[in-house]
Chains A and B, each alone.
Chain A
Amino acid sequence: MEIFAQQLVNGLVLGSIYALVALGYTMVYGILGLINFAHGDITMIGALVALTVAQLLAAAGLPVPAVLILAGGAAIMVCVCLGVFIERVAYRPLRRAPRLAPLITAIGVSILLQYSAALIWGKQYLSMPELVTPTRINIAGVQLTGLQVAIFLLACAIMAGLLWFIKSSRMGRAMRATEQNPDIAGLMGVNINTVITFTFILGSAIAAVAGLMVVLYYGIGHYFMGFMLGLKAFTAAVLGGIGNVAGAVLGGLLLGVIESLASGYIGDITGGVLGSNYRDVFAFLVLILVLVLRPSGLMGQHSGDRA
């Protein structure tokens, strides 16, 4: 039981990170119908910027909270600029193009981001200074660290804030209108370009926060780290119903828990025939099963034919 609870906690924390990255995918998809393949790499840039700033400031002897805030702030700034720039240059000219064209530019941008990062930071794994000595919390045999709790709470808070924002604010209403039909929204006086730019700002900022969390939690950064993270987050977003903010968080948490339980229990359940190496197979099978039963994901509303 202790072990099971621990596995749940592991899964929820991992899932929170997936969820944060998945939010960016889902928002862009909701507005543009585009799989922004470069989003994982924006997270990577955020992570590496945060890591570098933290290294410099920690060496300068600043207090930890200041280091964290400055590192996070720098990461958010860089990512937001990058996100807006990418949208302007690589996606906006293709808004009326065949559907797969922006997918290819997204892949191109992803490669560009990776190798720009390789030029700046080199290709070794980089280490994050240990800013906070992990405070171990023991609840009924379940081991937690303060950081894990913080990551989970932050993911929930960001999601709640985002939901509130989309539901209640003027910009949020414009976003929803654009999502349903950009042309009509435009006719109704919504400035589509502003809405899309804003979506990228929001998505990139959340990606930067996710990047900071990743380097804090795992302690390492690498120019290729965005690829797997992006892939998992994208899976999570689809699982939850892509285009749906709450769905992205649900999908992320669920994917984290599935992975965690699969690694922990497949071996025992199958009597050692299959092992933890089949974790991803299991995760994707759950995804396929969900999509077969609910073709628009867990929380996705059945949208019209987008193809």
Chain B
Amino acid sequence: MHNFSLRHAALALLLAAVVAGCSKEAPPPASKAATIKTPEVLSVKIGSASPLTGPQAHIGIDIRNGVQLAIEDANAANIEIGGRKAKFEMVAEDDEANPTKATTVAQKLVDARVAAVVGHFNSGASIPASKIYSDAGIPQISPSSTNPKYTQQGFKTTFRVVAHDDQQGPTLARFAAATLKITSVAIIDDSTAYGQGLADAFENTVKTMGIEVLAREHTTDKDTDFKAILTKIKGKKPDLIMFGGIDPQAAPMMRQLKELGIKAKFIGGDGMQTPNFIKLAGNAADGAMASIPGLPKDQMPGGRSFLEKYKAKFNQEVELFAPMGYDAVMVIIEAMKRAGSADPEKFLPEVGKTNYQGVIGPIAFDDKGDLQNGPITIYVVKGGKWVPLETVKPSDAGGAAAKK
């Protein structure tokens, strides 16, 4: 009996050793190129962390593609850092949108000696990972996490290139009041940190303007059937329906809205201002409105060409956050250029001083690492295309930061 059990124990140990062994041989030797002075070419690794599997993979892959495109562009531009030619390399990891995996991935990127990280997608992944990057002194720029707490933890390394909820929500509210002249609204969110944050910010501002909130409904980021909540909203007859969420929900919602014969207008945030929304909603898309931070794409130097380049390379439309991923890399590289070094310790202070014209518009950070108020443009779908309707400049949106 004893022998039997021991043999099994030995077998288990052996198995564990094999698993460990397999994994050991694969990782490339930790490159210390960033610190060694001898080679002519300075090799710089930039991490990309986002969900590449699971239900949100399409958005995570979009971010990674944005990062990859930026790195290829940077390599093609023969950038010099501190007098040496730099060669950039992407290290992409899959965090599965899972907070536990996110910390493992973060540690992996730190172990791989990346100079900076673009990620993560979910706030739930960005926040626990941020402690690990902060301990290692590596700057982290999230392209998409909108949870205000992300930058409020007192870390010097956390940045984001996405407007947080208190910037877009109030702008949408003012647009609804001033331009659409509505008196009542129904609000739906997708029960995620992003969707609910945006909807809450919108609701708070709308209430101060004397607009009546007739219904506040919730769905999830996995649902496709919204008939029940839309029917309820139909009974309340609002002028406008505002949705905090992203296109896989917004598009069928728009379809079902028309099927139920609801006359109210439909508006949302940057999560649905995507080509995919129009593709998925089909003929029903016309008339939908959505805001997105930045000037209209064709008014921006990099905007249009970015969309074309993306489509040519990946043979698909930009999903959502690829421009943010792209800009995050560029912000990092610009900071390295200014500091004349790819050593995080040296260029980290420069990231905070960013003043860069990106694909998404002007990028500058406040003292916490949040994106400073920039212009926000509101689009409408006309003839199967997003057409700019109105641009709200930061000076008009000054009150936004004061609230909450």
Contact = CB atoms under 8 A, between A and B. Distances in A.
Interface residues of B, number: 41
B232 A219 contact: no
Given A118-B53, A118-B57, A277-B191, 6 more contacts: A124-B276, A220-B252, A264-B231, A267-B217, A277-B220, A279-B228
A275 to B, nearest CB: 6
B280 A260 contact: no
Interface in B279-297: 279-283
A70 B274 CA distance: 32
B248 A125 contact: yes
A216 to B, nearest CB: 12
Main secondary structure of the interface of A (DSSP, over half): helix
Interface stretch (A5-13, A159-167, A193-201, A246-254): A5-13
Contact of A276 (B219, B225, B251, B261): B219
Given A264-B231, A276-B229, A219 B255 contact: yes
B322 to A, nearest CB: 12
20 contacts: A115-B53, A118-B53, A118-B57, A122-B58, A123-B57, A124-B276, A125-B251, A127-B279, A129-B282, A130-B282, A136-B261, A214-B224, A219-B252, A219-B255, A220-B252, A222-B55, A224-B54, A263-B217, A276-B228, A277-B219
B33 interface: no
Interface size class of A (residues with CB under 8 A): 35 or more
Contacts of A272: 216
A225 to B, nearest CB: 8
Contact of A219 (B191, B227, B280): B280
Interface in A179-230: 214, 218-220, 222, 224-225, 227-228
Nearest to A134: B259
A124 B316 contact: yes
Interface of A: 2-3, 6-7, 10-11, 13-14, 115, 118, 122-125, 127, 129-130, 133-134, 136, 138, 143, 145, 214, 218-220, 222, 224-225, 227-228, 259-265, 267, 272, 275-277, 279
B235 interface: yes
A138 B255 CA distance: 17
Nearest to B191: A277
A261 B231 CA distance: 10
B404 interface: no
